Structure 1
Amino acid sequence: MPTLHSREVYQQLRDAALGVRSLQLVQQHQLDGQLWVDIDGWQLLLDFEGNRLHHCEHCRHPDGREGSLDTWQRYGTNPVSLLSTWEMAQIERLLAQDR
């Protein structure tokens, strides 16, 4: 099965920041700063350092396709690094409300 490209995952984050898609916290890992979130059926594992979004570790599309940090680093771009400063702040703000 083909892997998810970073631009596909970025688009979900961007849409959530713009309020086009729904972003929900699914699970928070207390020790390592990682959060599982759901964006309209897309499951993303986001890594935080403090309150700052650092990168996306993993993503699973509703159809079963997946992408991960290892794959994205190989091609040079993590989905989070494609976000504008404003989009990243919006995602951080939305998730801060749920934590």
Structure 2
Amino acid sequence: MTKVGSQSWAQLYACHFEVDVEGWQITIYNDCDELDYCERCVSPEGNCWDFNPGDRTDPIALLSTWELQTLERMLKAL
């Protein structure tokens, strides 16, 4: 996982943050230093999925507590 753009997780304290995971462009929302929701995913082939905050289809809502905490630690290290 690599960040897209020059700003770190901490610099975007309450804003969208984009990462690249093996060619997938994933836009997530940093809400006061906590991972809130996934805004959008774009596959390497260009297929796009948009999500609404709080929807049950939001991939972040499907993570276990351990997965969410692990992902937040990884994002803060970028």
Specify the code of the residue in structure 1 equivalent to 2:17: L
TM-score (norm 2): 0.81
The structure with the largest helix share of the pair is 1
TM-score relative to the length of structure 1: 0.65
Is residue 23 of structure 2 the alignment partner of residue 45 of structure 1? Answer: no
Match of 2:57 among 69, 77, 81: 77
Opposite residue 55 of structure 1, the aligned amino acid is Y
Aligned with residue 67 of structure 2, among 70, 87, 90: 87
3-state DSSP of counterpart to 2:77:
helix
Structure 1: any 5+ residue segments left out of the alignment?
A: 1-22
Cα distance change of structure 1 residues 42 and 68 upon mapping to structure 2, 3 Å threshold: same
Specify which structure has the bigger relative contact order, considering alpha-carbon pairs within 8 angstroms and separated by 6 or more residues: 1
**Once the two structures are aligned, what percentage of the paired residues are identical?**
33
Q: After the TM superposition, which parts of structure 1 deviate over 2 Å for at least 4 consecutive aligned residues?
A: 27-32
Alpha-carbon offset, residue 90 of structure 1: 0.8
Change in 2 beyond 3 A, CA 1:55/1:85: same
Task: Give the drift of 1:77.
Answer: 1.8
Q: Which runs of 5 or more residues in structure 2 are unaligned?
A: none
